[in-house]
Amino acid sequence: MQITLTINDKLVIWDVEKDEILADTLRSHGLLSVKKACETSCCGLCTVWVEDKSVLSCTTLSVRAHGKKITTIEGVSKDAEDFARVLTAEGSEQCGFCSPGFVMNVLAMKKELVNPSDKEIIHYLTGNLCRCTGYMGQLRAVKTYLGVQ
């Protein structure tokens, strides 16, 4: 069936299967930043924005996104680079595979929380798993990026 979406500020009409998930749809249209890693809504890697809110695209049906505004990291490259510069200065991207989802959620948090505490940051991002870094470096990077102590 056909769905109409605004992907990264561009209106598109795509054919999708009824049981197709958004992560697969986005990847099949070249948005390769979107990663899948758990299939059970546990890891946060597939995080994209639907109507500017973080959503797990591995468990969102593409048809559910009909008529909505979808943003992937490709659509916020300037902000993503600003944060990535801080993240990589800490070395806390490591393998990088979880970065797109993590970065999207950090950018969403920045818009939502004002001057968050460590606890609030950790709580907000807790659904973004990372097996490489142990999270400490990511916390340092997020705090530097947000300009909080």
Partner 1 sequence: MNKVGMKSVGHGIRKIDGMAIATGKPVYTLDLAMSNALVVKILRSPHAFAKITTIDTSTAEKVEGVECILTFKDVPKERFTLAGQSYPEPSPYDRLILDEIVRYVGDEVAIIAAVDEKTALQAMKKIKVEYEVWEPVLDFEQALGHASVVHPEEDLHCNFDIGLQKEQNIASSYNEEVGDVEEELKRCSVIVEDVYYPQAQAHAMMETYRAFTSLDHTGRLVVVSSTQVPFHIRRQLARALQLPASKVRVIKPRIGGGFGGKQTGSLEAFAGMVTLKTGKPAMIIYDRKETFSCTTSRHAMRLKTRVGADQEGIIRAIDIQVLSDTGAYGEHAPTVLSCVGHYTLPLYNKTRAVRFTGNAVYTNKMPAGAFRGYGATQGTFALECTVNKLAEKLGMDPTEVRLKNISKVGETFLTGQGVLLGSTTLERCIEKGKELIGWKEKFPSRKLENSKVRAVGMAITMQGSGIANIGTASVELRLNDDGYFTLLSGATDMGTGCDTILTQMASEVLEVPMNHIIFNAGDTDTAPYDPGSYASSTTYLAGAAVVKAAEELKSKILEQGAKFLGVSVQDVEMEGLTVRTLAGEEMSLAKIAELTVLGTGKLQLVSSATHGMDISPPPYVAGFAEVEVDQETGKVELIDYVAVVDCGTVINPKLARIQAEGGIAQGIGMALYEEVIYNAVGKMASNSFMQYKIPCRKDVGKVRIAFEESFEPSGPFGAKSIGEVVANTPPPAIVHAVYNAVGVRVNHLPITPEKVFVGMQKL
Options 3-11, 40-48, 62-70, 107-115: segment touching partner 1 (CB under 8 A): 40-48
- Contacting residue, 61, 63, 97, 144, with partner 1 by CB under 8 A: 97
64 counts as binding partner 1 under rule CB under 8 A: no
Q: How long, in residues, is the chain? A: 149
Sign of CA dihedral 126, 131, 137, 141: negative
With respect to partner 1, which residue has the nearer C-beta, 67 or 135? 135
The number of C-alpha atoms within 13 Å of 11 and in the hemisphere containing its C-beta is 2
Q: Which stretch binds partner 1 (CB under 8 A): 4-12, 62-70, 107-115, 133-141?
A: 133-141
53 binds partner 1 (CB under 8 A): no
CA 112 to chain centre: 15
130 token code pair: 């990372």
The span from the first CA to the last CA of the chain, in angstroms, equals 49
Positions that interact with partner 1 (CB under 8 A): 32-35, 37-40, 42-43, 45, 72-74, 77, 80-81, 84-85, 87-100, 103, 122-123, 125-137, 139
